[in-house]
Amino acid sequence: MSLSVSHLAHAYARVTALRGVSFEVPPGEIVALIGPNGAGKSTLLKILATFVAPSHGSARVAGCDVRTQASEVRQHLGYLPEQLPTDPVLRVGEYLELRARLKQLDRSRRSIEIERVLGLCDLAPVRDRLLDQLSTGYRRRVGLADALLGSPPVLLLDEPTVGLDPVQVRQTRNLVRGLAGTSTVLLSTHLLNEAEQTCSRALVLWQGGLVSDIRLPSLAAGADLELELDRPATQLGTQLRELPGVARVTLLESDASPTDSPQPTVSRWRVTLTPDGSSSGLAAACVGRGWGVRELRRCATTLEEHLLRVLPQSLRETA
């Protein structure tokens, strides 16, 4: 595994930042790390980057332990932290040259690598500008270029598109997507559409704990079903929830037609199945009870909807 985290915990004085987090990321996968402010995302990245030692648990990057093999971890790692690069005397090109030396890149490769990352991050026009004279967006891109130096097999990116304009955001997302299969990326972001467009998987943190580990294609494919029946909601709610293979039922719409209307009363439901449930089994159960099935289809779930389900009720109400 490129990343392996087991029962990781960390506390700052009286504040617990991480609580027993465990997950693995295989080589070449791009994974989003999402959650509200204070969820523990940046602390987790700092531990993996060996800037913070965990209080409990273990973590390995490219097979190297973050506690006992910090120098080896850094050789396999590119890290874009929250803090932006700044220096009153160094220019962009000089800063990347310094970083390449600190990363001990072979002398014959340095100039080639610097040119490569300048091009990837669209920094060639400002290579001779002082860091302190750059906008927030440009300095964010300098930090990303630094992380990409040497083509490390593992990348930790903390909010890589914050401060970028829309064109730069699109370029950065395309760049990260292009790393799939060659680099392992753990990307912390508050932007759910960024996670959906860039990553194949999302880890959701809340109050330092991992509350969900979801593959995003499974959301887009539609894990839930939308069911329309020729029965009023008042007659179906409890019975529908008791059907075999049904985990959860939500009423979407109920058409309360007059009793003398020739048109039947219609109700629409969102149904979440248990692992052993199936759409065919649900349809057969409804027909067997004499409920007219007007429509049964899979409905896609967005990452936002998934978060509203897995986060605590108190947090959902303030979202």
Per-residue pLDDT band for 302 (boundaries 50, 70, 90) equals confident
Residue 254 tokens, joined: 């109920």
Q: What is the pLDDT of residue 127?
A: 96
How far is CA 62 from its chain centroid? 20
Quick check: 53 and 73 in contact, CB under 8 A? no
Residue 168 tokens, joined: 């730069």
Cross-strand pairs, 202: 32, 214
Q: What is the pLDDT of residue 275?
A: 75
> Which letter does DSSP use for residue 130 in this model?
B
Q: In what order do the strands lie in the sheet with 3-12?
A: 15-25, 3-12, 56-61, 64-65
Give dist(CA 85, CA 117) in Å, integer.
Answer: 15
Give dist(CA 79, CA 154) in Å, integer.
Answer: 9
| Number of neighbouring beta carbons within 10 Å of residue 185 | 26
pLDDT (tens digit, 9 = 90+) per residue, 206-228?
Answer: 999 999 898 887 776 666 888 99
Residues near 182 by Cβ (< 8 Å), separated by ≥ 6? 28, 151
Residue 201 tokens, joined: 């998987």
pLDDT (tens digit, 9 = 90+) per residue, 232-256?
Answer: 888 787 788 889 888 888 888 876 5
Residue 109 has pLDDT above 70, yes or no: yes
Residue 284 tokens, joined: 């057969």
pTM: 0.77
Q: What is the DSSP string of 75-103?
A: HTEEEE-SSPP--SS-BHHHHHHHHHHHT
Domains, in order of start, for the chain:
3-219 (3.40.50.300), 223-299 (3.30.70)
Give dist(CA 87, CA 170) in Å, integer.
Answer: 27
Residue 313 has pLDDT above 80, yes or no: no
